[in-house]
Amino acid sequence: MSYTGIMSVLPLEDSTTVILNVVLLFLVSIEPYLFYLNAVFDFSGAPVLLDAASTAYALDLAGLMVILALFTYQLTREERKLLPQELLSKYRSIMTILFFSAGLFALTTLPLFWKWTILNTPSRFYIWFVPLILSSIRRVSEQPKRE
């Protein structure tokens, strides 16, 4: 949904945007496979494979988030006048959360997030919920107040 909202406003006018779109398409296409690998590997039976699959998944999601954040950044550049003034703060908030989420996914690829466990599960799996929670909080906070 974020991609559709961004691309409905962002013109495809330069080669950088086209290349980022192709990379994004590739990352989106391998995400379900990497997710499947994380869901299927038995942690106790194949910890090395699960570590590799979860690292690849985290890098994939970090890449997705960075590209969406870069597209959103293009929307928020005031000199381009792609968005009405009243929507700039909303999209800047989205951009900030996307960049933060990308950094968080990339950070979880560090070995310490594999070694630190919570209930015998690597902590990286729990940290991946943070972007989902942040996005949900942002959406709820932007909803109009009902009286």
pLDDT along the chain (147 residues), means of 10: 74 80 93 90 76 93 94 80 75 88 94 87 89 84 68
Q: What is the pLDDT of residue 108?
A: 94
Per-residue confidence (pLDDT) for residue 44, from 0 to 100: 66
For the purposes of burial, counting CB atoms within 10 Å of the CB of 142, is it exposed (0-12), middle (13-18) or buried (19 or more)? exposed
CA distance 14 to 85: 24
What pLDDT, on a 0 to 100 scale, did the predictor assign at position 5? 75
Q: What is the pTM of this model?
A: 0.83
pLDDT of residue 109: 94
Angstrom distance (rounded) from CA 49 to CA 68: 29
The closest of 97, 147, 98, 107 to 127, measured between CA atoms, is 107
